[in-house]
A and B are shown apart, each in its own frame.
Chain A
Amino acid sequence: MCATCGCDTHTHNHSHSHTHDEKHIAVEKDVLYENNLLAARNRGFFDAKNILAINLVSSPGSGKTTLLERTLTDLKEAVTFSVIEGDQQTTRDADRIHATGTKVVQINTGKGCHLDAHMVMHALQGMHPHENGILFIENVGNLVCPAMFDLGEKERVVVMSVTEGDDKPLKYPDMFHTSQLCIINKIDLLPYVPFSLDKAISNAKRINPKLEVITLSCTSGEGLDKWYQWLESKKS
Chain B
Amino acid sequence: MHELSIVMGIIDVVTEYAKGAPVKEVTLDIGCLTTIEMFAFDMAWKQAVKGTLLEKATLDINRIEGRAVCLECGKEFTIAEVYDACTGCGSHLIHIVNGKELKVRSLIIF
Q: Which residues from chain A sit less than 8 Å from chain B, CB to CB?
A: 21-35, 112-114, 116, 144-145, 147-149, 169-170, 173-174, 177, 203, 205-207, 209
Contact = CB atoms under 8 A, between A and B. Distances in A.
A54 to B, nearest CB: 21
Interface of B: 1-2, 5-6, 9-10, 12-14, 17-18, 21, 24, 28, 34-35, 81-83, 85, 92-93, 102-110
A12 to B, nearest CB: 16
B109 A22 contact: yes
B106 A206 contact: no
A114 B2 CA distance: 7
B108 A145 contact: no
Contacts of B6: 31-32, 148
A177 B83 CA distance: 8
Nearest to B85: A206
A209 B92 contact: yes
A28 B82 CA distance: 25
A35 B9 contact: yes
B14 to A, nearest CB: 8
A120 to B, nearest CB: 14
B2 to A, nearest CB: 4
Contacts of A170: 83
A22 B5 contact: no
A135 to B, nearest CB: 23
Contacts of A205: 92
Contacts of A30: 102-103
A25 B34 contact: no
B2 A144 contact: yes
B110 A22 contact: yes
A114 B106 contact: no
B2 A24 contact: no
A82 B52 CA distance: 40
A63 to B, nearest CB: 23
Nearest to B30: A31
Contacts of B21: 23
A113 B10 contact: no
Nearest to B101: A30
Nearest to B71: A209
B35 A32 contact: no
